Amino acid sequence: MLRSIPTPTISVVEIGPLTVHFYALCIITGIAIAIWMGEVRFRKNGENLQGVVSDIAMWSVPAGIIGGRIYHVLTSPDQYFGSGGHPLDAIKIWEGGLGIWGAISLGSVTAFFAYKNLAKSKELPKFAFFLDALAPGVLIAQGIGRFGNWFNGELFGRPLNAPFALEIPANLRPVGFEKFETFHPTFAYEALWCFLIAGILIWLTPRLKAGMTFTLYVFLYCVGRFFIEALRIDSAHTIMGLRLNVWVSVVVGLISLGVFARISRQSGRL
């Protein structure tokens, strides 16, 4: 067998009575970086914008985590409510399972209302500037979060025999794939794709109108997710033979592309 990427043998560390899950640590690290990057980028829109991103994050981050978990549970109900499932496991976020579509949706809606409320007492630019400032940092957070899946030994792809393949322990291999030892490291594919898009957005932001950076983020992420999702072999609902998240990538990607095109036709930097 060729050399491969090993799955970490530990996913938690105990410090006295405290148990730290590496998945949760990756999520927290990503969120902290996203807030910091968002603050730095958003302050470029005005001198009085210090702390705005942090204030909004107090509401949008918890909402995003809840939304991501709800999406995951709703799209994988058998894992929690089917035969042999444990409903209480639905709240065990540290074991993995956050749907980015739910996280972005509920997080963005909550951020909008928090931003609107803050604007009553503070002069703020249009919400589109806020979303544009956050986009690269959110991508970095998504990429770091995917390494949490690596520690949990989850969300890998089809069998693969290559130096960069991911070695999966026998107890974590899906039914029907027990004889295979190495698989596509889809967690790494998605992380690298997110980091690449983040770099592209940082470079393009000065050249784009308000709102275009965020919609481009959504579109490019959907493009990568479409192909990466097609490689995955974990349990998922299918529609006409394709995984649900493949369809979501197509629909959300087309919508974001349409919004991007509409903004690009508008005059001025809104």
Check residue 270 and give its pLDDT.
47
* Listed range (15-19, 108-112, 131-135, 236-240) with the worst mean pLDDT: 15-19
- The pLDDT of 47-59, averaged and rounded, is 91
- The pLDDT of 150-157, averaged and rounded, is 92
Chain segment 96-148, per-residue pLDDT in tens: 677 888 999 999 999 999 999 999 888 999 999 999 999 999 999 999 999 99
Check residue 95 and give its pLDDT.
66
Cα–Cα distance measured from residue 210 to residue 44, given in angstroms and rounded to the nearest whole number? 13
* Listed range (42-51, 135-144, 164-173) with the worst mean pLDDT: 42-51
Structure tokens at 56: 């909004």
Check residue 79 and give its pLDDT.
72
pLDDT at 1 over 50: no
Question: Which value, to the nearest 10 degrees, does the dihedral of the CA atoms of residues 89, 71, 215, 132 take?
Answer: -40
Burial track 65-98 (b if 16+ CB lie within 10 A, e otherwise): bbbbbbbbbebbeebbeeeeeeeeebeebbebbb
Q: Is 182 helix (H, G, I), strand (E, B) or coil?
A: strand
Q: Work out the percent of the chain whose per-residue pLDDT is above 90.
A: 66
Q: What is the mean pLDDT of the chain?
A: 90
* Listed range (2-11, 60-69, 83-92, 156-165) with the worst mean pLDDT: 83-92
Check residue 219 and give its pLDDT.
97
Q: Which run of H or E residues covers position 12? A: strand 12-15
- Of 72 and 125, the structure prediction assigns the larger pLDDT to 125
- The pLDDT of 173-184, averaged and rounded, is 93
> If pLDDT is split at 50, 70 and 90, which confidence band does 3 have?
confident
Using alpha carbons, list the distances in angstroms from residue 11 to 120, 142, 154.
Answer: 45, 18, 12
CB hemisphere CA count around 212 (13 angstroms): 22
Closest listed residue to residue 126, CA positions, set 30, 254, 263, 27: 263
Structure tokens at 50: 């210090």
pLDDT at 36 over 70: yes
Check residue 4 and give its pLDDT.
85
- Of 247 and 20, the structure prediction assigns the larger pLDDT to 247
Check residue 84 and give its pLDDT.
67
